[in-house]
Chains A and B, each alone.
Chain A
Amino acid sequence: MTQPTVGTIEDFAGRSRGVQLLVGLLVALVALVGFSSPASADGESIQVQVKDQQRDASGKTDNQPVPGVSVTVLDASGAVIGTAVTDDKGVALVSVPGKADYTVRIDESTLPDGLALSAENPAEQQVTEAGFVTSKKIVNFFTGASQSESTSTTERIAQRFADGIRLGLIIAMCSVGLSLIFGTTGLTNFAHGEIVTFGAMAAYFLNDRGVHVLIATPLAVVAGGLLGYSLDRWGFSKFRARGVGLISQMVITLGMSIALKNFFLWRFGGRDKPFLDYTNQVGSKIGPITITPRDLIVTILATIVLVAVALTLQYTRLGKATRAVSDNVDLASSTGIDSAKVIRIIWIAGGALAALGGVFRGLDEQVSWDMGTALLFLMFAGITLGGLGSAFGALVGGFVVGILVETSTLVGVPTELKAAPALLILILILLVRPQGILGRAQRVG
């Protein structure tokens, strides 16, 4: 049984130049081919991960690994199958004879001083036979003091709002492309979340090879733009030309989403990974809010980018053309706007913005293979709230959803369910004002 080297990235063999592409989908993907999947031994094993959830004072989960914890795996009859100690990645791998029911126990006395299992987490967890999706079952233990530390209510509220604003900015940034693509082509792109993930992956890939995040980020944005370009150039513009219907295109985006997501899982692995720069920052207090310099800079940068997007849409020729096409393609075309070109630009800009949002999200939380998928639903809630197809609606709606999601924990929504209020918003807005805050009612007939 080889020692797992989870998280390390093996050498990159060189960029694939073979561009035998299916609908341009893979164009941007080859850049990612260098991700190696997490190494693991053949045969069944249980990977125990011990993480400390409470790194920064803002209450955000940062999932730092906890090394040196003893782990025991028992079989159904209670016999010890194996023991291990977590490495500096907080990971311990125990090989097991096969897929079956097991009990995983950690020795709480071996936890580093000051850490204890969080209230919701028992020291013993059950693994069922069906729980082995692959040959390796991952079991997580989380440490961390209970959430309710001695912060005042005002501070908690302010803190949640600060986090909400950051999330809202990221959602808004990611959704501009999604909303405008809908507005101009009528397509609901279910693979948009994967563009977000792609941005974070591209930045992580470079970062992992020693490129500083500050340089990797603009490169990832370019990659995101290229992915957007490719998707339209070799994908959706062709589908439109072939007369593939909107619903078929929508199903195509589902297929792309599956393919891309599993591709990320394959090359990146199932674990969350942080960028190498700006980790473990100490938060500083600004008024009632504790925020790390990293998060502060992300907030400021995101604000600047979104203001720039809004100004571009409002005042430039391109922005006006974009809004015109989004409003009414035929009308815009008849006034001499090249709508195909505008649509292409929206795909590029939307892809670039989504990629940037992905990098920011990766900095904010961590990079994971399904991070965009998780955001997609919040994006949908945002653009529906703002008005499907409206660019400003996407900005406003995304922002509002971000704040609502983060602040919902204040009124007792468990953190693990904080996405649920977004669904509630979605349903309420559809019942009350389906065209959204900034959308216009459609004429019938």
Chain B
Amino acid sequence: MKDADDQSATEPVATPDDPHAPRVLSEYAKAAKAALAGVSPEPGVAKPDPILVADGIRRAFGGIVAVDVDHFEVQRGSITALIGPNGAGKTTFFNLMTGFDKPNTGRWSFDGASMDGVATHRMASRGMVRTFQLTKSLTKLPVIENMKLGATGQIGEKWWNGLFPGRWKKQEAEIEARADELLTRFKLDHMRDEYAGALSGGQRKLLEMARALMTDPTLVMLDEPMAGVNPALKQSLNQHVRGLRDLGMTVLFVEHDMDMVHDISDWVIVMAEGQVIAEGTPDDISSNPAVIDAYLGAHQGKTLLEDQV
């Protein structure tokens, strides 16, 4: 049924929410798709301008190898989806790339700089930021405080400066203005002063994304942005993700929602049993027998598109 969406993503797609407005591809989208057009759809293929490059990443828990990725590249300025059946190692790979877990072997670089041994908290200042599968909005802080927390290089975050409001008030005002701007963009401005705990699941996803943007990232890594979001909000979330690319950022996201994958990604990387088994444009992937195998192995009798948690 959903095969209707399988018309190439290079053409404007009529979306269920918005049937009358054919999407016009942005300059950034066109550029990303053009850059990836010549890349051959095979696992571990090199990209013309990679922002994230990983080599020989391996992580085992006890005897179980969760991740064993030979080579992995993410094209700068693209939206890249990372998909795969449950237990394929996607989230673990995410954790490894963002420093939340350490690989047993392997190295990776971001924006040309090696990330070996770089502490987790330095990732954000280098321009790599992530969100989590289970939303980590800080429910006991007001929405605006959540946002302001995201800003990097805050003077007042040194305790000796914190003591003297004069030193940080000015910067704080700038940060607050930026936060308000983002809140407006993500249509959360009406919730500005509420505790984040008062937000709905979808709003929390938005808040987490907006907060991540406060770090001024170049690569945004989203772990299942659609999980637990009600269908009405999905479309708007999609637009926000596209919007990230159109602001010049690169997006890498893990997702089970194949609608979203088809809808917004420029490139898809498929993992199964810890390895990259396929890569390509969304169209390449949906016709790739290795991918169908991987999914059928795990979910007998279901189509690729029905795979949801």
Contacts and interface: CB of A to CB of B under 8 A. Distances in A.
B61 A445 contact: no
A443 B94 contact: no
Most buried by B among A441, A444, A445: A445
Interface string A416-445: 000000000000000000000000110111
A235 B223 CA distance: 39
Nearest to A440: B62
A444 B62 contact: no
Interface string B120-139: 00000000000011000000
Nearest to A445: B95
Interface in B94-110: 94-95, 100-101
Contacts of A441: 61
Nearest to A443: B61
A445 B94 contact: yes
A445 B62 contact: no
A438 to B, nearest CB: 13
Contacts of B203: none
A391 to B, nearest CB: 19
A440 B60 CA distance: 13
Contacts of B62: 440
A433 to B, nearest CB: 14
Interface size class of A (residues with CB under 8 A): under 10
Contacts of A444: 95, 100-101
Contacts of A440: 62
B65 to A, nearest CB: 13
B183 to A, nearest CB: 27
Contacts of A445: 91-92, 94-95, 100-101, 132-133, 223
A369 B78 CA distance: 69
Interface string B36-48: 0000000000000
Contacts of B92: 443, 445
B119 to A, nearest CB: 15
A441 B60 CA distance: 11
Nearest to B132: A445
B62 to A, nearest CB: 7
B100 to A, nearest CB: 5
Nearest to B91: A445
A444 B101 CA distance: 7
A443 B62 CA distance: 11
Interface in A155-188: none
A437 to B, nearest CB: 15
Nearest to B223: A445
Most buried by A among B101, B132, B133, B223: B101
A441 B223 CA distance: 22
Nearest to B98: A445
A444 B93 CA distance: 11
A444 B136 CA distance: 14
Contacts of B94: 445
B237 to A, nearest CB: 21
A441 B133 CA distance: 21
A328 to B, nearest CB: 14
A411 B62 CA distance: 37
A9 B249 CA distance: 79
B117 to A, nearest CB: 17
Interface string A385-405: 000000000000000000000
A377 to B, nearest CB: 31
B288 to A, nearest CB: 28
A443 B66 CA distance: 11
A424 B92 CA distance: 34
A443 B93 CA distance: 12
7 contacts: A441-B61, A443-B61, A443-B92, A444-B100, A445-B91, A445-B95, A445-B133
Interface of A: 440-441, 443-445
Ordered nearest first, which 8 A-B pairs have the shortest CB separation? Answer: A445-B95, A444-B101, A444-B100, A444-B95, A445-B91, A445-B100, A443-B61, A440-B62
Given A444-B100, A445-B91, A445-B132, 14 more contacts: A440-B62, A441-B61, A443-B61, A443-B92, A443-B101, A444-B95, A444-B101, A445-B92, A445-B94, A445-B95, A445-B100, A445-B101, A445-B133, A445-B223
